[in-house]
Amino acid sequence: MTAAIVFAACAAVVVWVYVGYPLVLAVAAVVRRRPVHRGPIEPRVSLIVCAYNEAKTIRRKLEETAALDYPADRLEVIVASDGSTDGTDDIVREFAPRIRLLSLGRRNGKTAAQNEAVKAASGEILVFSDVTTVYPPGSLRAMVENFADPTVGCVGGDLIYGNEPDNPAAEGRALFWSYERQLRLWESRVHSMIGTAGCAYAMRRSLYRPLDPGAISDFVQPGLVTARGHRTVLEPRARVYEPVESKTLSEELQRRARIITRGLRGAFRMPTLLNPLRHPWFATVLWSHRVLRWLVPVFLLGLLAASVPLAAEGALYRAVLAAQLAVYAAGGVAYGLERLELRLPGAFIPLYFCLVNLAPLVALKNLVRGEKKIVWETGR
């Protein structure tokens, strides 16, 4: 009986996260759609770029930023150099006074750099970008137009990840992101989405709150915006492009584990949003899209453990056990082939599924050990 209860509970959570919640959200996006009232406004904008040892790519970013379709006298650009040692600061200085350099003495991580940059910023709208993110000329204006609606406090750009056919980490990430993007689009239409892409989001200066360096700003800041009664929306016209960062499966695993470690810390810094009595709809979204999804591997392990003793008791239990073993075996075979530099079409799907669900376990280990993952080295 105990195994059957565990099986039912774990299966219910997994099915809700991957099937039930997306279906409910898709229906809500149609029947409860809440339009954003955009307008052709031109408030003063501070575009903040956090950089660490980006000498190879910073020049392109600054030239691209100078070409944005936004009045130069209404756009302030600040590069927060987080303890760079490779000549990044010297390159930024070449663009003065059009672009301001905020050189931070020692490395404290992206969130701390953003906190310092906001102190120096003068714009009423803050836009956060990474060095590698490509902003087409009209993307900034498209994001800003959402702030004509007084209910909007934060706007996410529509991020498109690059893909490399011979890189299973990139293929898996692109496929996973297409699913993630659709959820965010539906959430935005209903009310507010959970988090934004950290390399492309804007928010009202009046709503920004300095965060602990261990917090992941593109998740916590939008949450705090929602807690204060404003919306966080996705702007599909503000398409931006991000190249592949993770070159190996190991790098992708560590990247995802780092994000989840900081994300779980951030989620529990927003207790009111997790409380369905205070925020019924948004708490459902936050638990379903983030917290429970990050905990899915725990429920998958429980499902596997319960399926083994129950397999002799019915066809359903045997089918679920067989399906789990098949997916994990396919992921293992795909990993082995990848190590041999042999690739089969579609093999990256079970492989990336296994990676996505291994990363939260690594994150939970980080949390138990008290690791915060404030700074890191990029795959580049």
What's the whole-number average pLDDT of the chain?
89
**Helices 315-339 & 348-369 angle (0-180, nearest 10):** 90
| Cα gap 99→342, rounded to integer Å | 47
Q: What is the pLDDT of residues 116-162, one digit of tens each?
A: 999 999 999 999 999 999 999 999 999 999 999 999 999 999 999 87
Please answer whether residues 189 and 34 qualify as being in contact, where contact means their C-beta atoms are separated by less than 8 angstroms. Answer: yes
Vertex 165: Cα angle to 161 and 168 (nearest 5): 80
| Cα gap 336→344, rounded to integer Å | 11
Q: How many CB atoms lie within 10 A of CB 8?
A: 12
Q: Which residues of the chain have pLDDT under 70?
A: 1, 163-166, 246, 371-380
| Cα gap 188→193, rounded to integer Å | 5
Determine the pLDDT at residue 64.
93
Helices (H) and strands (E) in the chain, counts: 14, 7
Determine the pLDDT at residue 27.
96
Q: What is the pLDDT of residues 344-366, one digit of tens each?
A: 777 788 888 888 899 999 988 98
pTM: 0.88
Q: What is the pLDDT of residues 209-252, one digit of tens each?
A: 998 888 888 999 999 999 889 999 999 999 999 887 767 778 88
Please answer whether residues 48 and 126 qualify as being in contact, where contact means their C-beta atoms are separated by less than 8 angstroms. Answer: yes
| Cα gap 10→322, rounded to integer Å | 16
Determine the pLDDT at residue 271.
83
Domain assignments of the chain as residue spans, ordered by start: 9-38+133-380
Bridge partner list, 99: 77
Determine the pLDDT at residue 379.
46
